[in-house]
Each structure stands twice: as C-alpha cells, then as structure tokens.
Amino acid sequence: MANKKLKFIFMGTPEFGAIVLELLIKNDYKPCLVVAAPDKSVSGEKILTPEPVKKVAQKYQISILQPLKIKDAISEIQNTGPDLIIVAAYGQILPKEILGIPKYSCLKVHPSLLPKYRGPTPIQYAILNGEKETGATIMLMGEKVDAGPILSQRVSIVEKDETSNSLCNKLANLGGKLLIETIPRWIRGVIKTYPQDEEKAIYTKILTREDGKIKWQKIAEKLEREVRAFDPWPGSYTFWERKAGWGRKAEKSLKIKILKASVLKSSEDMTYPVGKTLVAQDKVCVQCGKGFPFLSGGKDFLIIEKLQLEGKKPMVSEEFLRDYRDFIGITLK
C-alpha cells in the first residue's frame, strides 16, 4: 500500500510524539486525524497552551481531536475508518473497542527495549538506573500496558551526561525512523512478531513533584543520575533554611533547583553530617549518605555545577558562591 493511500490516525501528546509525527509527515506519512490531550495551562496561568503534538498537527493543517477520555471518541475514530492507528506517548490506555477498529491494528512507538521499562517513564528510568544502552520498540498494542508483541527494535547508547530531555529527543528520532521502516513491511505482511518475555518485564511509574526533592542520604552517584533523569520534570531540588542576618530580618525557606551536578569521590576518612555544604574545586559540594536507611555520611560528595535559587536566574556554582557565602557550612534537609 502506497504511503498516500494509507489512511491512519496518529495519537500522541508531548514532545516525543511531536518528533515522531513530524518525521512521519516529512516521509510522506500524513495522518488523516491527530488525537491529542486537551490543552492545559502552564504554571497556573489561565491561558491554555496546546501540547507539542497538537502544534505539529496545526502546522500541517491536520484535523485534531482532543477528548478528555479516549473512550468518548470511539464513534468519531470509528467513523474515520482508519487502516492503521499509530501511538507515540499518548498517555491513555486504548480500550478494546478502539484497538479493534483499524485493519492493520494499532502500533506503538515505545522509548525502551521492551519488556524492560514498560509504562509512562521509560526514559527517566533508563537514566536513573545507570543503563549504558536503551532503545526504541515498535509493538502491536493490546489491552495490557506495553505488553503486546514486538515488531522491531533498535538500540541506542545512553551517554554519561544524558538528560531525559536529550534522551527523549534521541529516542524519538530513532523510534520515528524505525517506525517508517517498519510500517510498509507490516502492511505487506512480511514481519513476524514475537512475544515479550513477561519474566523480564519491568514497570515504571508516573513521576510526581515530590520525586524531585533531593534526599541527601542517598549515594552521590544516584543523586547525580536523578538530576539528569528529572530534567526537565520534576527537576531536582532542595530547601535552604536561610537564617536571619544582615539586611534580613527573618529566617526564610528558599527552594534551590539543582540543574547540573557531578560526583566527587573523596579519599579522606573524614565525613560530615549528611547534607552539609562545603567548597571543593571552587564549587559548592554537599556531603551525601551511604544510601537508605543509613544516615551517616558516605565517602562521596555531590558537586553542584549549576543551580537556580527560586526567583533568580540560573547560576554556575562559582557565581552562586560569590553572592551567597552564607550557604556554606549549613546542613540541607
């Protein structure tokens, strides 16, 4: 079936889906309908902002459907009569009524090497767990989350300085290209799917804002991975209970977002209280723990390369030290 004759619906919402959709369109795969999440407000503002996938659809003048619940759109999707449905980070589970509509089923682009890292946050988990490689999977969708048969996979290296943002971009491009290679072979019936190994399945969970709060009892290597995995959401942050001082009449709790960090491995026997702030290599560093449930200091420290004090612009560590000398010697909680 030629590209132009393939009638398909694309479902997606965030940047990952937008990159995949753009690649499809540029390679002569233009959907007849795009299904995305409803517009949402940003940072509590009343103005609604369209999600990235919707912006791409608007750019190419593609019809858009934004149901609050996907089950409410069953009749509209059915009336469209798609040959295929493609899903890339849509965010809702498709009911069997939709799964059974297209002639060539529903295909999903997933940013991991399934069955590892099923669920909503596979990119973050790959970084959190220190994976050396991950990848993209094209799978046949079923009623169980990310458990359907696999059509194709491709491996990608996870760089040492990889953030969720950079890895998302990389895997979306990888997955989009793999999808473009896979679709015609799937339509021609030359692909033999294979089942996932359920014993190797690992599930991820939705991240919350609380996940970003730094627990200094953890080892430095894990905290450094969290800083990269939680960029841009939910971010890694801590609180500075700043004491009253010259020009400041009262104690104030200030939120500090850690934007970039590295690990300092100490050869000294001396340890400090967990969360203690010091100076090393002309930068702020923080004593980390040995991991839960231990509360004593470990051998390693987290060097804060770049940070942002609430209400202020991002600063490199050296600049922050010049302006906030009273930050050194405190204990972060």
Q: What is the mean predicted confidence (pLDDT) over 182-197? A: 97
Report all structural domains of the chain as residue ranges with CATH numbers, in order of start. Answer: 3-200 (3.40.50.170), 209-327 (3.10.25.10)
| Tens-place pLDDT, residues 232-288 | 999 999 999 988 776 666 578 999 999 999 999 987 777 899 999 999 989 999 999
pLDDT score of 295: 66
SS (HEC) of the chain:
CCHHHCCEEEEECCHHHHHHHHHHHHCCCCCCEEECCCCEECCCCCCEECCHHHHHHHHCCCCEECCCCHHHHHHHHHHHCCCEEEEECCCCCCCHHHHCCCCCCEEEEECCCCCCCECCCHHHHHHHCCCCEEEEEEEECCCCCCCCCEEEEEEEECCCCCCHHHHHHHHHHHHHHHHHHHHHHHHHCCCCCECCCHHHCCECCCCCHHHHECCCCCCHHHHHHHHHHCCCCCCEEEEEEECCECCECCCEEEEEEEEEEEEEECCCCCCCCCCEEEEECCEEEEEEECCCCCCCEEEEEEEEEEEEECCCCCEEHHHHHHHCHHHCCCECC
Q: What is the pLDDT of residue 297?
A: 76
% of the chain at pLDDT higher than 90: 86
